[in-house]
Amino acid sequence: MRGDQAERHQTRSEAERLLSGDSMEMGDTSPRQTRECKHPSQVEERYTDEQSNGQASSSRLTAAGEEEVAPINGRHTEYRVYKIRWFGLSQLILLNIVVSWDWLSFSAVANTAADFYSTNPSIINWLSTGFLFAFVAAAPATIWTLHTGGPRLAIIIASILILLGNWIRYAGTRTSPPSFGLTMFGQILIGLAQPFVLSAPTRYSDIWFTPSGRVSATAVASLANPFGGALGQLINPFLAAKASDIPNMTLYVAIISTVASIPSFFIPSKPPTPVSPSSTHTAPGIRETVNLLGRNPTFYLILLPFAVYVGFFNSISSLLTQIMTPYGFSETESGIAGAVLILIGLVSAAVTSPIMDRTKAYLPFIKTSVPLIALCYLAFIWAPGTRSLVAPYIILAILGAASFSLVPVALEWLVEVTWPVGPETGSTICWTGGQLLGGIFIVISDVLKEGSEGNPPFTMGKALIFQAVVSAAVVPCAMCLGLVGKVTRGRLEVDNGVAAEDREG
């Protein structure tokens, strides 16, 4: 007993040396009652954990800014969350913002960029398409890095690639004549960086956050990626109003990306002590992981609609200017449409994610959101043809709300139903599928684009029909979730002290 007390005291001393601060942690959504201690820098709390079937628990925030969570049921294990987790989460958010902003730097001003490089918008589309295919190429390395080195190593690798890629792109704009090949090389390097930060949130939240905060943590880090795309679509048309502005636009984006990348080298690799029972779990090896996923039908039912909808989001984000300008809309109005798609989605996700953290009603939410997304793609076929901003903006707002709210819920539910597989593997495969299909969809949409004889010229109406048909085709996959195969929520059961059931092959 004395040895256990000494060990806990030593662990607390180490944490106090790492962390300092007096403020209470935010992010625990469980209802609780608090009372002030004699020392104003400490708060002692008791509450009923809703995820533990009403089992009473105790929580204490120490002067070092760490939260102890210990079940009041005779067990001696204590779990803590640390304030420094917000530093790493903030860095993931920043990197996801800049990597997506980098991705759409030229797509938002496709016509202007085409003039600058003395080419056509179809060639400019390859800056976006090559970026997405680079994600696919880096996916195996991402899985290995997150599996063996954890989120910190992945974040550092991404930061290095982002730094190199941005400044190489800028160099390509300063040669005479401008070098499209050098710009493409820099764009590919940034594309190689994206999977390391886009696939990391589920792994990071699994290590650093308790079950009551994982969906929210995954949401803010994952959805920062499309937020960066919104910034690019909204801001870049103002930065590059004419072809000669492209070098300065690229420079400004490179500076922002550099500032966002530097703090990555200072984040910690993991918390001093586990934050929950499931965070102590050692994931199976990569070969066993592949076997477990391959025998899990639920994984495929999530993978297909997730990849298709991410792919179409990537496609519509890249081509929105070319979809709308044939109908008389300007690049700025098209950029605002893209921003509406993303910003409304972020607001919606900010509302729904804490609710999902409390209720864990993942499956009903997925089955509601997927048909709504398909209906939005169907309705968008006719939106640009109205030649009014109202219809595109409203439909894109609904599409964004449904899509963005769905992403973190689908990713966290994927972790639950594929446990004990590490969270990084399933999420990386799903994101990779989305990037691969996104690149393919961009190529197909460009082929379906009308020529100068179209009505109106260069319309992408056939591409909109294509995305509506494919979006509707994957709806049955989501409707079959929970009906095919044996579904267990292993991680949640472990965190609630319930032994996970054996999974059927």
What pLDDT digit, counting tens, does each position of 411-435 carry?
888 888 887 777 777 888 888 999 8
How far apart are alpha carbons 328 and 134 in whole angstroms?
34
Q: What are phi and psi of 72, to 5 degrees?
A: -95, 70
pLDDT above 90: percentage of residues in the chain: 38
Determine the angle formed by the axes of helices 286-294 and 423-448, rounding to 10 degrees: 60
How far apart are alpha carbons 101 and 144 in whole angstroms?
26
Q: What are phi and psi of 59, to 5 degrees?
A: -140, 140
Note whether 210 and 394 are within 8 A (CB): no
**Nearest one of 201, 207, 235, 237 to 221, comparing CA atoms:** 201
* 295 three-state secondary structure: coil
Mean pLDDT of 60-75: 44
The pLDDT value recorded for residue 45 is 30
Buried b (16+ CB within 10 A) or exposed e, 221-256: bbbbbbbbbbbbbbbbbebbeebebbbebbbbbbeb
pLDDT tens for each residue of 279-306 = 555 666 667 777 777 788 888 898 999 9
Tokens of 331: 């690049």
The pLDDT value recorded for residue 27 is 39
pLDDT tens for each residue of 181-226 = 999 999 999 999 999 998 888 788 878 887 777 777 877 887 788 8
Note whether 497 and 77 are within 8 A (CB): no
| Backbone angle region of 497, left / alpha / beta, with phi > 0 → left and psi within -120 to 50 → alpha | left
- Chain-centre distance for alpha carbon 406: 11
Note whether 270 and 150 are within 8 A (CB): yes
pLDDT confidence tier of residue 399, bands split at 50, 70 and 90: very high
The contacts of residue 196 (CB under 8 Å, 6+ apart) are 138, 142, 145, 146, 154, 155, 157, 158, 161
pLDDT tens for each residue of 6-46 = 544 454 454 444 443 333 333 343 333 333 333 333 332 33
The pLDDT value recorded for residue 15 is 44
Assessment of whether the complete model's pTM goes beyond 0.75:
no
The pLDDT value recorded for residue 43 is 30
